[in-house]
């Protein structure tokens, strides 16, 4: 029936800024009746301006070898450009040796050039645990929907637990060479996160 199809479409598209299905609200609206399109409810989605992307950049010695860090900086700039176009907020942490540095406190994304990332050096170990802990603190204080992006080759000794403060997690894998250990992919699996390859930005 044409009328029934139009009614279904109108309910499926309810609200321009919505998230996934809100099943508790849907079942409450249904009551004891059979499930019908008019019962469907969606979760509200925060405005994009409330989203905070926290980028965590691995600057360890293994990332410096073979140009992985240079590629990671390029990907970082591309991601920040996307955030700028969507009027979202960004933050940047870098980690290497025994230090974690807050390179960019949470703020609205701006138009970037590569001058400021060129100065980020590399060398030493991979203090991944402290870096993720600091990122979790930034996301907890940031409000809105927190996204954590880890740009790394995965060659860290410690595997921190999945940060509960991150609504979304992305691991970008920069491991290169013939012998690949797949640690970034394994970490993403342990976190239940998406793992993207550096080659995806080529």
pLDDT in tens, the chain (202 residues): 444 434 333 333 333 344 567 777 878 888 888 888 888 887 765 555 689 999 999 998 888 887 888 899 889 999 999 999 889 999 999 998 888 999 999 999 887 666 666 656 666 677 899 999 999 999 999 888 999 999 999 888 788 999 999 999 999 999 887 777 889 999 999 999 999 988 776 5
Which pLDDT score is estimated for 35? 83
pLDDT of residue 116: 63
**pLDDT for position 90:** 94
Query: Starting from the edge strand earliest in sequence, which strands make up the sheet with 99-108, in order?
Result: 99-108, 89-96, 52-58, 146-152, 168-173, 194-197
How long is the chain? 202
Delineate the domains of the chain, giving CATH numbers in brackets: 2-44 (no CATH), 48-201 (3.40.50.410)
**pLDDT given for residue 100 in this prediction:** 92
* List of E strands, the chain: 18-21, 42-44, 52-58, 89-96, 99-108, 146-152, 168-173, 194-197
Q: Check residue 37 and give its pLDDT.
A: 84
- Write down the pLDDT at residue 17: 41
What are the residues facing 104 on neighbouring strands?
A: 92
Q: State pTM to two decimals.
A: 0.72
| pLDDT in the model for residue 12 | 33
Sort 95 into a burial class: Cβ within 10 Å, 0-12 / 13-18 / 19+. Answer: buried
């Amino acid at each position: 029936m044409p009328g029934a199809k139009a009614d279904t479409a109108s309910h499926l598209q309810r609200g321009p800024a919505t998230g996934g299905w809100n099943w508790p609200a849907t079942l409450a609206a249904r009551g004891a009746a059979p499930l019908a399109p008019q019962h469907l409810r969606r979760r509200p989605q925060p405005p994009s301006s409330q989203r905070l992307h926290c980028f965590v950049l691995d600057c360890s010695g293994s990332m410096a070898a073979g140009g992985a860090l240079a590629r990671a900086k390029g990907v970082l700039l591309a991601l920040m450009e996307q955030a700028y176009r969507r009027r979202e907020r960004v933050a940047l942490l870098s980690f290497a040796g025994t230090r974690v540095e807050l390179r960019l406190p949470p703020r609205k994304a701006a138009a970037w050039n590569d001058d400021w990332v060129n100065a980020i050096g590399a060398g030493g170990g991979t203090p991944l645990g402290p870096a993720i802990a600091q990122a979790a603190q930034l996301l907890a204080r940031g409000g809105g929907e927190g996204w954590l992006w880890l740009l790394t080759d995965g060659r860290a000794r410690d595997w921190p637990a999945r940060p509960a403060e991150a609504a979304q997690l992305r691991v970008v894998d920069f491991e290169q060479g013939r012998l690949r250990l797949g640690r970034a992919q394994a970490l993403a699996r342990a976190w239940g996160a998406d793992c993207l390859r550096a080659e995806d930005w080529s």
